[in-house]
Amino acid sequence: MSEKIKLMSHLVAGYPTDELALTAARALVSGGADMLEIQLPFSDPSADGPAIQEACTKVLSRNYRTQDGLNFIEQLHKEFPEIPIYIMSYGSLVYTPGVAAFCKKAAHAGVKGMIIPDLPFDNDEGLTQACKDNGMENIPVAAPSMAPERLAKLANAGFEHIYAALRAGITGSKTTIDENTTKFLTAVGQGKSKVLGGFGITTGEQAKSLAPFVDAVVAGSVFVRIITEHQNDSQALAKAIEAKAREITNM
């Protein structure tokens, strides 16, 4: 067996219930996930494909609030204090209560950093500073559609991590790792930020192709689909999630 691949796994907080989401998180950790990216459900998740959009809609139909998501994260952090937890959400959810106030609450829940795709690194409403003030990091998102000069500016802006979206569009559909992908990832990492590469990663084969160019592989929709498929059988859900995580991490 070759070297383990580092995995950041994505879950929607509270999907389909908090208890089943916890079951999935435990299975991800058992399967080798190194980091957890927890999405706070949002009504119009513009970067997400159908699997995650439907998960968000289902959770929100229970009148699930941002504080419920933070409570879920706090429970996860207490159970797995050694696993870094990152919030993924959208700008209005952070901006509405005030960026500084939101970051303070997130840090209190045990969050290590924020991934907010629609707040660009050079116009982030004070997110990077608010994260620093609360002992967290902001992880900006780089996309292949960025102009080379702007991508170079981001790569050299001193962020600890940069999330590299491997293609334009929405998450979930399969991504091909080709020469253009690796050139893009090399450009993202030119300033020595650690690169997190995701969007459409569903197989161990993809992860192996990606691993030499990133600090960690990000996978999300694949796990959300497994949760949807097995939501009526928690044991089957846990088994399938752990098996897929092991496949992706090469454990």
Active site residue 178: no
Q: Is 105 left (phi over 0), alpha (psi -120 to 50) or beta?
A: alpha
Give me the sheet containing 113-115, strands edge to edge.
Answer: 137-138, 113-115, 85-88, 35-39, 7-12, 216-219, 194-198, 161-165, 141-142
Rounded-to-10 torsion of CA 240, 67, 77, 250: 30
Residue among 18, 34, 48, 124 flagged as catalytic: 48
Rounded to 5 degrees, φ, ψ at 219 are: -135, 135
CA distances from 241 to 28, 178, 204 (A): 6, 27, 13
Set 18, 34, 37, 215: catalytic member:
37
Beta bridge mates, 206? none
The DSSP line for 151-190 is: HHHHHTS--SEEEEESSSS-SSS-----HHHHHHHHHHGG
79: which 2 tokens?
């159970």
Confirm whether 205 is a catalytic residue.
no
- The residues that are catalytic are 37, 48
